[in-house]
Structure 1
Amino acid sequence: MSAPQVPGIAVEFGPRGRLDRHSDLFAEASRVQGDAPRAIQLARRLDDVAFPGEGETLQLWGLLATLGSIDLTAARVAEAHLDARSILRQAGSAAGDGAWGVFAAEAADVRLDATAAGDGWRLSGTKPWCSLAGMLDSALITAHTPVGRRLFAVDLREDGVTVEPGAWFARGLSEVTSGPIHLEDVPATAVGDTGWYLTRSGFSWGGIGVAACWFGGAIGAARALLAQARIREPDQIALAHIGALDASIHANRVLLEHAATEVDAGRAEGEAGGILAARVRASIADLVEETILRTGHALGPAPLSFDDEHARRIADLQLYVRQHHAERDQASLGRAALAAGVTW
């Protein structure tokens, strides 16, 4: 199978976001088709990818958006892997080989503790929401120390790591299984100081990287409308849906371009970076929900019933975008905007 040409496949962001050198990766992504092992194999190949904040942030987000437009399982796995590599780079640590994840969620009924042991650390307890923990090589995991939360690099192949089976019933991203893992005296290496993971500027940039995947997924779904228009003359209703999505996609493309400029210019640090990320995520989450609604209205039940790729993409999008916590994240943005003295 020959690699597809970039035009018409890549989610381009103008001259600064050209993705020609990644066309072979896009061909491989098209073969993932929701298969997690294939997505992990793809992630392991992502060694020639820009890091955020180093002048080519737009290329990184364009890559993630393109993967999202092709296959959201590929994008979901690649984003976490690249985020881990970026975090390690910011901390001055080497990533090493293999596929990485980032496990930083917390839950009220479980806890993971870190104990200093000689020159290193040992982790014991339970960590929730650990996607593909049984298939990845390594992960960055947050744990509690006596003085606060800290980030650690862990080899997931250690004997003391146990993945709890049977906890994943999702229909979207069905093979990106996520559930608790249990660690028993597992060796770990500290990455950054206490509290560093959440306070570093890259935390906000990583949040925008996730939104770039959502953006690509929305474009992939919206392309079904264009495909339908090529085989059947669109009526006024179909044209209205196409026009509305065109405006929303263009606005969010410009927003991502602006955000990349701010990151590379050093204007997305601290509070400013947090507000920027919250704005981008809120806007793209709205685009995703609008895309799901409009494609459903315009195309009816047939593609959801008989088109495996489209049905999978919609289910994947519905789950993936719930990493945005809707009104709760909007309220958080409102609080931050008021505290920053925003004016309109």
Structure 2
Amino acid sequence: MSINAFSLPSNAALATLLQPQDGAFLPIDGLRRLRDAGLDQLPLPGHGATLQRWQMLAAVAAIDLSLLKLYESHTDALAILAEIGAPGVPAGSLWGVWSADLPGARVRLRQTAEGRHVLDGRKAWCSGAKGLSHALISCWNDDHQACLASVALSQPGVHVTDEGWQAVGMLASASVDVTFSAARAFPMGAPETYLARPGFWHGAAGIAAAWYGAACALASHLHARAQHAAPDPVRLAQLGQIDCALRAVAALLREGAAEIDRHPQSDAMALALRLRLATEDAATQVLHLATRALGAGPLCRDAHFARLAADLPVFLRQSHAERDQAVLGGIVAGAEEHPWAL
């Protein structure tokens, strides 16, 4: 995709597009609207407009994080398929990327006597499973190699359960367990290439942009209160802390996007971990300060604020926290020169 092929909509236009017509907002309906409007055709990571891709993820996250979960997964699937040179996706299809494994359980990819590939096993946290048409599944072949396979979800052998999600936060993402029993699948790329490809860490870094967008949406409520209420020194101090945190992360995200575009084939692991960890800290700080500054009112009476405040802590747990910090620390420790020159 060329840099200029995608036009970023205004926040107002995006909100209007996603406004529910009747009844409650359903993330899967929002994903269909984004697809039908061509807004799923994001610039590919590392192709010169990575920041624009991340800006769209942040904009959707600011509206609804469950929708973002489906949207990010769908657009990530399209990017993966493009990176590995897979055939074009079916018109009107909706995709997910399901790469989490239950402890001690892995989905098996095996080849039948007829030469077809099939999946067996149980996959956890399959967001949007009931409304999607296809998914990219991380799985393991008989040689214990990590693989990636595409699967159509409407076929026999695929069962979408109602199990696996008890959290209130991100409930609308419908991240349930899916079981596979000899479901027809198609390997995507060679074994072990899914995690080794450059785009893996590009996609991981994009999640930070989503966390940032949600944090900005929460902060915007405090900004509006500070603009229209009598000056309150404590509230203004909290807003000042939020401003510093968000501007620092925004600078890191812009720098990271530019670095990916300059060096699309380089290992972006350290960059992605740094962006995710810094944004996680900032988003956690914003959630803490904004809810303290605004009190119970918006948590109880503002549906948008309350939903973001409930969803964001759950979504942030895609981070591996101290484990990711340790990995990043190991990378930094291995640097030949100190890495913090201005």
When normalised by structure 2's length, the TM-score is 0.90
| Aligned mates of 1:267, 1:261 — CA distance in 2 | 10
Shift of 1:22: 8.2
1:132 maps to 2:123 = no
| Aligned mates of 1:243, 1:287 — CA distance in 2 | 13
Q: 1:18 to 1:250 in 2, by over 3 A?
A: farther
SS at match of 2:172: coil
Q: Which residue of 2 aligns with 1:8?
A: none
Q: Which residue of 2 aligns with 1:5?
A: none
Deviations 1:280-326 (A, max 9, x none): 00000011100111011111111111111111111111111111122
Q: Which residue of 2 aligns with 1:36?
A: 27
Shift of 1:78: 0.8
Counterpart of 2:16 (choices 21, 27, 34) is: 27
| Aligned mates of 2:64, 2:247 — CA distance in 1 | 21
Deviates more, 1:234-243 or 1:218-227: 234-243
Deviates more, 1:167-176 or 1:77-86: 167-176
| Aligned mates of 2:222, 2:45 — CA distance in 1 | 32
When normalised by structure 1's length, the TM-score is 0.89
| Aligned mates of 2:231, 2:57 — CA distance in 1 | 31
| Aligned mates of 2:259, 2:53 — CA distance in 1 | 14
Shift of 1:340: 4.2
Question: Structure 2: which amino acid aligns with 1:320?
Answer: F
Q: Is the 8 Å Cα contact of residues 129 and 178 (structure 1) preserved in structure 2?
A: yes
Shift of 1:251: 1.1
Question: Structure 1: which amino acid aligns with 2:254?
Answer: E
Counterpart of 2:168 (choices 167, 171, 185) is: 171
1:316 maps to 2:311 = yes
Deviations 1:46-81 (A, max 9, x none): 343211111111110001111111222222211111
| Aligned mates of 1:131, 1:66 — CA distance in 2 | 20
Question: Structure 2: which amino acid aligns with 1:99?
Answer: L
Q: 1:161 to 1:65 in 2, by over 3 A?
A: same
For structure 2, list consecutive stretches of 5 or more residues without a partner in the other structure.
1-5
1:236 maps to 2:230 = no
Counterpart of 2:104 (choices 85, 89, 109) is: 109
Aligned-residue Cα RMSD (Å) equals: 2.1
Q: Is the 8 Å Cα contact of residues 107 and 123 (structure 2) preserved in structure 1?
A: yes
Q: Which residue of 1 aligns with 2:89?
A: 95
| Aligned mates of 2:101, 2:199 — CA distance in 1 | 20
1:68 maps to 2:61 = yes
Q: Which residue of 2 aligns with 1:121?
A: 117
Q: Is the 8 Å Cα contact of residues 198 and 264 (structure 2) preserved in structure 1?
A: no
SS at match of 1:175: helix
Shift of 1:95: 2.5
| Aligned mates of 1:104, 1:41 — CA distance in 2 | 22
| Aligned mates of 2:16, 2:334 — CA distance in 1 | 46
Counterpart of 2:46 (choices 53, 66, 90) is: 53
1:146 maps to 2:142 = yes
Q: Is the 8 Å Cα contact of residues 34 and 74 (structure 1) preserved in structure 2?
A: no
Q: 1:202-213 to 2 correspondence within 5 Å?
A: 202-213=199-210
Q: Which residue of 2 aligns with 1:246?
A: 243
Shift of 1:18: 7.6
For structure 1, list consecutive stretches of 5 or more residues without a partner in the other structure.
1-16
Shift of 1:108: 2.2
| Aligned mates of 2:74, 2:57 — CA distance in 1 | 11
Shift of 1:338: 2.1
| Aligned mates of 1:277, 1:111 — CA distance in 2 | 26
Shift of 1:20: 4.3
Shift of 1:109: 3.1
| Aligned mates of 1:18, 1:239 — CA distance in 2 | 36
User: How many residues are aligned here?
Assistant: 327
- What is the percentage of aligned positions where both structures have the same residue? 33
Q: Is the 8 Å Cα contact of residues 252 and 284 (structure 1) preserved in structure 2?
A: yes
Deviations 1:82-123 (A, max 9, x none): 000000000101233311100111122322111124454111
Q: Is the 8 Å Cα contact of residues 221 and 292 (structure 1) preserved in structure 2?
A: yes
Q: 1:174 to 1:34 in 2, by over 3 A?
A: farther
| Aligned mates of 2:216, 2:25 — CA distance in 1 | 17
Q: Is the 8 Å Cα contact of residues 120 and 190 (structure 1) preserved in structure 2?
A: no
Q: Which residue of 2 aligns with 1:9?
A: none
Question: Structure 1: which amino acid aligns with 2:55?
Answer: G
| Aligned mates of 2:257, 2:178 — CA distance in 1 | 35
| Aligned mates of 1:289, 1:87 — CA distance in 2 | 30
Q: 1:254 to 1:34 in 2, by over 3 A?
A: farther
| Aligned mates of 1:268, 1:255 — CA distance in 2 | 20
Shift of 1:199: 0.7
Q: 1:134 to 1:340 in 2, by over 3 A?
A: farther
Shift of 1:175: 1.1
Q: 1:41 to 1:326 in 2, by over 3 A?
A: same
Q: Which residue of 2 aligns with 1:184?
A: 181
